[in-house]
Amino acid sequence: MPGYLTTHVLDTAQGCPAEGLVIMLFRIEGKERTGIAQAVTNEDGRTDEPILPAQEFKTGTYELVFHAGHYLRATMQGEEGALFLDEVPVRFTMTEDSHYHVPLLLSPFSYSTYRGS
């Protein structure tokens, strides 16, 4: 089965999926950082399609950038001057043709991630 990449965002402060959060995907090659995809989370906190589908999958180093600041302001969890988190970058390496799932657990003052299933 060819590899692909999925993600989702859970708002741990409000106990719900983070709907409307912009996510960008970059491929990292040496010092080059190339944007290859952008998506917005749906009502389930997921992207409607894999952010990197099987037909575009390549092993290598990638970076997901979660635009948390915009989401936190939109959900009234932070004000412009008092916002702690803005962009949350997560850099990781995919080494095999497999399903990679990289979720983000988000609150106004912290985040965590892991390789999910």
What's the pLDDT tens digit per position in 26-62?
Answer: 999 999 999 999 999 999 999 999 999 999 999 999 9
Pairwise CA distance, residues 94 & 109, whole Å:
28
State mean pLDDT over 73-78. Answer: 84
Range list of H helices, 20-67: none
Q: What is the enclosing helix (H) or strand (E) of 109?
A: none
Distance CA 18, CA 28 (A): 26
| Buried-exposed string 58-67: b where 16+ CB fall within 10 A, e elsewhere | eeeebebbbb
Domains of the chain: 4-113 (2.60.40.180)
What is the value of pTM for the model shown? Answer: 0.94
